[in-house]
Amino acid sequence: MALTYDAARTDLGAFLSRREDGRSSLDLLVPDARCAGCMAKIEREMQALPGVAAARLNLTQKRLTVEFRAGSGDAGGVVEALARLGYPATPYDPGQARDAHDREGRQLILAMAVAGFGVMNTMMFSVPIWAGLFGQELGPATRVLMMWFSGIVGAPCALYAGMPFFRSAWRSLKARRANMDVPISIGVILTLAISFSETVLGGRDAYFDAAVSLLFLLLIGRWLEHRLRARASSAAADLLAMQAPTATLIGAGDVLTATPVDRVLPGDLLLVRPGDRLPVDGEIVSGASELDNSLLTGETAPVAVAVGQTCRAGALNLSGALRLRASARSADSALAAIARLVEMGAQSKSKYVRLADKAAAIYVPVVHTVALLTFAGGWALGLGPREALIRAVAVLIVTCPCALGLAVPAVQITASARLFRRGVLVKSGAALERLAEVDHVIFDKTGVLTLGRPRLKETAPAAIAMAAPLARASRHPLAHALAEAAGDGPLAEDVTEYPGEGVEGLVDGRRCRLGKAAFLGVQSHAAETELWFGFENDIRIRFAFVDPLRADVAETVAALRARGLSAEILSGDLPGPVERAATAAGVVQWRAGCTPTDKAAIVDDLTREGRKVLMVGDGLNDAGALAKAHAAMAPGTALEASQNAADLVFSGESLMTVVDAVDVARSARGRAMENFGLAALYNLIAAPAAMLGLVNPFVAAIAMSGSSLVVTLNALRTGARR
C-alpha cells in the first residue's frame, strides 16, 4: 500500500486563540526568518491569504502572529503557505509562565526607571549641598531647604524602587534565613531614617541621593540577571516548541487533529509520519517502518518495527507512516523514569553555592560588625550617639555591595551574550560558574562526537548520479543523505513510497527501486547502514552510510587537553564503532554498551573522587548523567529531556564550541574574582575612612558610583579576546 502523507492535512485548530468578538489569532514560531526581506515577504504573503486580517512578525523572537477575520481561521492553510515560501513553522502556545516572567521583568524596569528619576532629581538638590561642603556660601536655611527637597523626592523613590529588595528580604527573614537583600534593605531604611532626622535637626549629612543611587545600581544588576534568565528560558521554550510540539490525533472518520502532546490520553489513536518523533509510548496498529532509537539508547542502527510492536516515545520514525495506539500519557511514558533521574541530579546541583552568595556570606557579617563597632566604639570614645550613628550609617553606605549585586551579573550577561553569538545558549549564571571549575569531560558518541545523521560513504559518482533522481523524491533520511551527496538535479517521476521498504519510480523512462536489500531482491551481507538501488532487470548498486564524526573532534579533544581537561567517551553503542570514534578523536578512555544508569553511576563515582565532570550528551540515555554532572552541555539536536537537564545548549556542527564555552566560563570567573578583589580593596579604604568620619555625602556618592563603574567596566572585558 502506498501512502502519501503530505496530502493528509492536519487541523491545527487547537492552537488558535479565540477572542470574544469571534476573531481568532494564531502564534507561530518561524525559526528561519532572519532578515528584513524574510519579514517583508512573510507578512505580505500572509496578509494576502483569505481570511487573514493582519500578520506581524517579531524578528527578535522569530514569532509570527496571524490575526484572522471573524468567522475564519484556517491555521493549517497559514502553515502550508509558510512552508511553500520556504519557512517551516510550528504553532506554539504562549503559556502563562512566560507572562508571569514578563510581569516580573516589567516591575524591575519600572522600579529602575523610578530609581533613575530619583537619582537625577535628588542630585539636582545634592549638588548645592555638596558645594556648600566645600566652603562656598550656602546659608543653613537654604541647605535645610535643599535637604527637604531631596528628601521629598528621594525617599518615595527609594521606597518604591526598594520594594523588590524589601519583599525578598522579608520572605527570606520569614524563612529564617538572611540573603543579600536583608543588609541592603536595612541599609536603605536606616539611611533614609537618619537622613530625615538630620534634616529635621538641621544637620549636614543627608544621604537621600546615596540611598536612591545604590538602589538604581543594584536594580541594574537585578535586571541584567533577570534578562539572562528570561532569554535562556524563552530560547529553551523555542527549542522545545520545535521538538515535540504536537501529536497528530486520528479522530472519527479519519479526521486528523494536531494536539499538544500533554493532552494525549491512553487509548488515543495517533498518526506518526516519517521524520516525526513518537510523541508517547504506544503499540503499532497499522503500518511498518524503521525506528531510529539513537537518542534513547545510543544505538545507531535503525530497528524495523511492525504491527503489534510496542515502541517508546522519543524514537524517530524513519520510513513509513505509523498508526499508534497510545499506551501511556506523555507524563507517564518511558521518559518518566529518566525524568526522575534528572530530578535527582537537579537537586544535587541546587546544592551548589554561587560565587556571589559565597562572597555575601563573608561580606554581610563583616560589614555589619564593622558598622556596629563604629557605632558602639564611637559612642564609647565620646562622639555622642548622633555622630556615632551617622558614622555607622556612612560605613553601611560606602561599603555598598555593588560588586556583588552588579558586577557578577554584568560579567555573566556579557559572557553569555558572547557565547550566544557563537551559538551557545547559557541557561543560568550558576551554570557558567560550574563550567569554569570542570576538570574532566565525558562525551557521548552518537549525536555529540558524530553528527547524529547518516552521510554517504565514498561511492562512484556515476552510481550516485543514477540513483539521485529517485533519492530526491523520497523523504527517508538515508535517501536524503544520498540526494545531498548528489546535489541538485532532476526528479524521478511516478514515485511511490513503500513504507518500511523503499521507493519506486521512473528515471529516464525506466522503472527503478531504491530501498532495503529485500525490496530489491538481494541478500544483505553487512552490518552497515545501507541502501540498495537498481533498474528493473539490471545490476544492483549498494550505498553504504556512516554517521560521520564532527570535523573538529580531534582538535577539540586536543584543545581540551591543552587546557588541563581529560576526556572520556561513554556510549550505549557497540564496542566497534565506539573504539573507532575514540581512536579518531584521540581519546584513550572509552566505554561502550553503557545503560543510562551506568552513565549516571560513572559520573557519580567520578564526583565522589572529587572530579568536576562536564557531561556532553544528547540522548535520553545521557539525561541522568547530564543532570548529575557538575556541568552539562547538550547539542541543539538533543531530546527535550536532555536539553532540560543540560546547563548549556550548543548548536551548529562544530564541537569546538565546547572549548569556547569553557574558555568564556573561565574568563568570566577570572573577571568576577578580579571584581571581588577590586571591591575588597575599595572597601578596605572606604570603610576605615567612614569610621573616622572622613566621609560626607559627596565623598560617599563619588566613591560608590566610582567603584560600581570600575567593576562594571572590568566585567565588560569578559571573553573579549578573539
Partner 1 sequence: MNIVMFLAPFSLGLGLMAVAAFWWSLKAGQYEDPEGDAARILVEDPEDRPAA
Is 60 a residue that touches partner 1 (CB under 8 A)?
A: yes
In order, the DSSP letters of 410-462 are HHHHHHHHHHHHTTEEE--HHHHHHHHT--EEEE-IIIIIB-SS-EEPS--HH
In angstroms, the Cα distances linking 357 to 2, 53, 181, 353, 679 are 63, 52, 11, 6, 15
- Cβ atoms of 69 and 46 within 8 Å: the answer is no
Using CB under 8 A, pick the residue from 4, 19, 48, 61 that binds partner 1: 61
- Residue 394: what are its φ and ψ, rounded to 5°? -60, -40
Contact call for residue 420 and partner 1 (CB under 8 A): no
- What minimum distance in Å lies between the beta carbon of 65 and partner 1? 11
- Please say which residue, 57 or 479, places its beta carbon nearer to partner 1: 57
Q: How far is the CB of 266 from partner 1 (least distance, A)?
A: 40
**What phi and psi values does residue 443 have, to the nearest 5 degrees?**
-105, 140
Provide, rounded to whole angstroms, the least separation between the CB of residue 717 and partner 1.
25
Stretch that binds partner 1, among 115-123, 537-545, 558-566, 611-619 (CB under 8 A): 115-123
Given a contact cutoff of 8 angstroms between Cβ atoms, the answer to whether 238 and 230 are in contact is no
User: Residue 35 is placed in which grid cell?
Assistant: 532578515
Query: Which parts of 457-516 interact with partner 1 (CB under 8 A)?
Result: none
Binding residue for partner 1 (CB under 8 A) from 110, 131, 353, 373?
110
**Please, are residues 466 and 541 in contact by the beta-carbon 8 Å criterion?**
yes
The reply on whether position 97 binds partner 1 by CB under 8 A is: no
By CB under 8 A, is residue 127 in contact with partner 1? no
Residues 150-179 that bind partner 1 (CB under 8 A): 153
| φ and ψ of 542, to 5 deg | -105, 135
Q: Least distance from C-beta 44 to partner 1, angstroms? A: 9
What CA–CA distance (Å, rounded) separates 572 from 322? 26
Where does this chain touch partner 1 (CB under 8 A) — which range of 51-59, 168-176, 458-466, 574-582? 51-59
157 burial (CB, 10 Å; 0-12 / 13-18 / 19+) is buried
* Minimum distance, C-beta of residue 228 to partner 1, in the bound complex (Å): 16
Q: What are phi and psi of 660, to 5 degrees?
A: -55, -45
Applying CB under 8 A, does 648 fall inside the site for partner 1? no
125 or 519, CB closer to partner 1?
A: 125
Task: State the residue for C-alpha cell 517521476.
Answer: 493
335 is a site residue for partner 1 (CB under 8 A): no
Which residue in 10, 90, 121, 707 binds partner 1 (CB under 8 A)? 121
User: Which residue from 142, 369, 583, 589 is in contact with partner 1, where contact means CB under 8 A?
Assistant: 142
Size of the site for partner 1 (CB under 8 A): 23
Contacts of 223 (CB under 8 A, 6+ apart): 105, 108, 109, 112
CB of 669 to partner 1, least distance (A): 30
- Any alpha helices (H) in 18-64, and if so which ranges? 36-48
Between 52 and 249, CB nearer to partner 1: 52
* Helix/strand/coil (H/E/C) assignment for every residue in 243-286: HCCEEEEECHHHCEEEEEHHHCCCCCEEEECCCCECCCCEEEEE
What is the x/- site pattern for partner 1, positions 336-375, by CB under 8 A?
A: ----------------------------------------
**Cα 252 from Cα 224, distance rounded (Å):** 51
- Examine residue 310 and tell whether it contacts partner 1 (CB under 8 A): no
**Cβ distance to partner 1 smaller for residue 202 or 365:** 202
Q: Does 117 bind partner 1 (CB under 8 A)?
A: yes
Nearer to partner 1, 208 or 375 (CB): 208
Which of the 8 DSSP states describes residue 15? G
Q: Can 444 be counted among the known catalytic residues?
A: yes
* CB neighbour list of residue 294: distance below 8 Å, 6 or more residues apart: 300, 316, 446, 447, 452, 619
Strand partners for 284: 324
The two beta strands, 589-591 and 613-616, are unpaired
Task: Return the residue of 145, 303, 491, 699 that touches partner 1, per CB under 8 A.
Answer: 145
DSSP state of 629: S
One of 276, 444, 573, 647 is an active-site residue; which one?
A: 444
Q: Minimum Å distance from CB 713 to partner 1?
A: 24
Does position 59 interact with partner 1 (CB under 8 A)? The reply is yes
Q: Does 57 bind partner 1 (CB under 8 A)?
A: yes
C-beta separation of 153 from 118 below 8 A? yes
Q: Is 109 in the site for partner 1 (CB under 8 A)?
A: yes
Binding mask of the shown chain, residues 200 to 229, with x at each position contacting partner 1 by CB under 8 A: ------------------------------
Query: Which of 7, 35, 100, 462 touches partner 1 by CB under 8 A?
Result: 35
Catalytic residue list: 444
Q: Which residues bind partner 1 (CB under 8 A)?
A: 35-36, 39-40, 57-61, 106, 109-110, 113-114, 117, 120-121, 124-125, 142, 145, 149, 153
